Structure 1
Amino acid sequence: MKTTDDAEHFGYRVLMKALFGGEPPTWRNRAACADADPDMFHTAGRTAAAKAMCASCPVLAECRDNQLSWEANGPARFRDNAFGVVGGLSGAERRRIHYPAKNVKDVA
């Protein structure tokens, strides 16, 4: 009989296969958030705590690069609807990277 943890682990593995095409990246096991509550990264009132955890992460660069690449190379809805804190950046911060504001002088 599967326990809740088994079911959640199975769901996580299915998600990783869908997102990464296989196993999660090896750096993920070294991430500061590896054992953290995932809700911290998707709850508006916990953004500061999530960013603080990311700031101390030994694989911050890999995480950020992976997420930005995944959003940039996937369907536009990945970029348009970016949410939560990933790689130390909020969804709004990541959207600004994908869609930088144009300088009025550059338009002319």
Structure 2
Amino acid sequence: MANLSRLPGAVSQRWDWQLRGRCREADNALFFHPSGERGAAHHAREEAAKAVCADCPVLLECRRHALETREPYGVWGALTEDDRHRLLTRTRGGHAATAA
């Protein structure tokens, strides 16, 4: 008989956290910048997205996902693209940071 304890959990259990995100109640455009967005408008949109994330019940799961999968676009877990890039390129003891 197969040892089922070594099998991964159901796929839905890995992604169910996304159903509880505060971002689901907001406009998707808040989290992903339009082409050519710069300066004050860019900063204001990112800060507004981070404010939605601030009291999100799945903030850490979202952040972990974004860092582990190296999400290239958008605000995830209150981290912008630049925030994630800085965290992932900063090293601690020779290993890239994977949590914030």
- Give TM-score, length-normalised by structure 2: 0.63
Cα distance, 1:33 vs structure 2: 0.7
Pick one of 67, 81, 95 that aligns with 1:91: 81
Alignment of 1:1-20 (within 5 A): none
Distance 1:39 1:49 in 2: 11
Cα distance, 1:36 vs structure 2: 1.5
Letter in 1 for 2:54: A
Distance 1:63 1:89 in 2: 10
Assess if the C-alpha contact under 8 Å between 1:83 and 1:92 holds in 2. no
Letter in 2 for 1:54: C
Cα distance, 1:70 vs structure 2: 0.7
Correspondence for 2:21: 31
The percentage of counterpart residues that share the same residue type is 38
Correspondence for 1:9: none
Distance 1:26 1:84 in 2: 20
Secondary structure at the aligned position of 1:33 is classed as helix
Cα distance, 1:35 vs structure 2: 2.7
Runs of 4 or more consecutive aligned structure 1 residues displaced over 4 Å after TM superposition: none
Distance 2:54 2:86 in 1: 20
Correspondence for 1:67: 66
- Structure showing greater relative contact order (alpha-carbon pairs closer than 8 Å, 6 or more residues apart): 2
Distance 2:63 2:31 in 1: 14
Flag structure 1 segments of 5+ consecutive residues without an equivalent: 1-21, 72-77, 102-108
Assess if the C-alpha contact under 8 Å between 1:54 and 1:60 holds in 2. yes
> Would you tell me which structure has more helix in proportion to its own residues?
1
- Give TM-score, length-normalised by structure 1: 0.58
Letter in 2 for 1:98: L
Flag structure 2 segments of 5+ consecutive residues without an equivalent: 1-10, 34-41, 92-100
